[in-house]
Amino acid sequence: MLAKRIIPCLDIKDGQTVKGIKFEQIKVVGDPVELGKYYCENGADELVFLDITATHEKRKAWIDLVKRIARKINIPFTVGGGISNIEDAEKILNAGADKISVNSAAINNSKLISDIAKKFGSQFVVLAIDAKLENNQWKVYKNGGRIQTELELFSWAKKAEELGCGEILFTSMNHDGSKNGFALEPLKFLTESLKIPLIASGGAGTIGDFEDVFKFSNVEAAIAASVFHSKEIEIKNLKKELSRNSIPIRL
pLDDT in tens, 178-195: 899 999 999 999 999 999
Of the residues 11, 45, 51, 209, which is catalytic? 11
Q: What is the DSSP letter of 2?
A: P
Model confidence at 57: pLDDT above 80: no
If phi > 0 it is left, if psi is from -120 to 50 it is alpha, else beta; for residue 179 that is left
The CATH classification of domain 5-244, taken from the options 3.40.30.10, 3.20.20.70, 3.30.360.10, 3.90.550.10: 3.20.20.70
Model confidence at 172: pLDDT above 80: yes
Asked if 11 is an active-site residue, the reply is yes
Mean pLDDT of the chain: 92
Tell me the whole-structure pTM to 2 decimals: 0.92
Chain centre to alpha carbon of residue 190: 15
Whether the Cβ atoms of residue 81 and residue 50 lie closer than 8 Å to each other: yes
Count of residues making up the chain? 251
User: What are the pLDDT digits (tens) for 95-124?
Assistant: 999 999 999 999 999 999 999 999 999 999
- Residue 30: its pLDDT value, please? 80
Of the residues 45, 51, 88, 130, which is catalytic? 130
Q: What is the DSSP letter of 130?
A: E
- Residue 124: its pLDDT value, please? 96
User: What are the pLDDT digits (tens) for 10-55?
Assistant: 988 887 888 656 555 566 768 999 999 999 999 999 999 988 665 5
Q: Give the 3-state secondary structure of residue 51.
A: strand
Whether the Cβ atoms of residue 169 and residue 224 lie closer than 8 Å to each other: no
- Residue 24: its pLDDT value, please? 54
Position with higher pLDDT, 55 vs 231: 231
Q: How many helices (H) and strands (E) does the chain have?
A: 10, 12
The domain locations on the chain are: 5-244
Residues 82-93 have a mean pLDDT of 93
Model confidence at 238: pLDDT above 70: yes
Q: Give the 3-state secondary structure of residue 6.
A: strand
